[in-house]
């Protein structure tokens, strides 16, 4: 059976990055993105639709994204779709599909003192899904409690 799981997204952050650390000290950040699509309807009217997506980056890449990105930052994300499931505190089965960021490229210049050229990238690929999945389930349960 053939399969292929690759996602390429270009959009803007809808909120500041949310950096957390696993109990093992591994950094993880949620990048909430808006990706727009503009098109003409059959009547010729210009329309726009927005897709809201969460990309998840890990380790050094997560820390760098948290340091330089902020709400409204344009970025390019290359990764793969990843689904995860957990049971919340009320016993409800929950699930989500996210983009596991393998590469994040900053498209704009940061507002801080440091300058990053648009060709600079932050790349890191991780292969520890069992650790991440267990931690993500725990973090979702904790988030549901608060």
Q: Which residues contact 76 (CB under 8 A, 6 or more apart)?
A: 8, 9, 10, 104, 105, 107
User: In the predicted model, what is the mean pLDDT of residues 28-39?
Assistant: 94
**Which pair of tokens denotes residue 29?**
């950040």
Q: Residues near 102 by Cβ (< 8 Å), separated by ≥ 6?
A: 78, 79, 80, 123, 125
As a CATH number, domain 7-145 is 2.40.50.140
What integer best gives the mean pLDDT of the chain? 81
Contact 68, 106 (CB under 8 A): yes
Give me the residue spans of the domains in the chain: 7-145
Task: Provide mean pLDDT across the span 64-90.
Answer: 93
Q: Is the pTM value of this prediction over 0.95?
A: no
Per-residue confidence at 108, pLDDT binned at 50, 70, 90? confident
């Amino acid at each position: 059976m053939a399969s292929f799981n690759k996602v390429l997204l270009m959009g803007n952050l809808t909120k500041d990055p949310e950096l957390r650390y696993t109990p093992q000290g591994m950094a993880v950040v949620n990048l909430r993105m808006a990706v727009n699509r503009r098109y003409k309807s059959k009547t010729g009217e210009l329309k726009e639709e927005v897709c809201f997506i969460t990309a998840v980056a890990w380790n050094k890449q997560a820390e760098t994204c948290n340091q330089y990105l902020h709400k409204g930052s344009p970025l390019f994300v290359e990764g793969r779709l990843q689904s995860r499931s957990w049971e919340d505190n009320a016993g409800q089965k929950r699930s989500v599909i996210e983009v596991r960021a393998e590469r994040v490229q900053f498209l704009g210049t940061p507002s801080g003192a440091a300058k990053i050229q648009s060709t600079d990238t932050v790349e890191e690929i991780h292969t520890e899904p069992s650790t991440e999945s267990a931690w993500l389930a725990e973090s979702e349960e904790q988030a549901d409690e608060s």
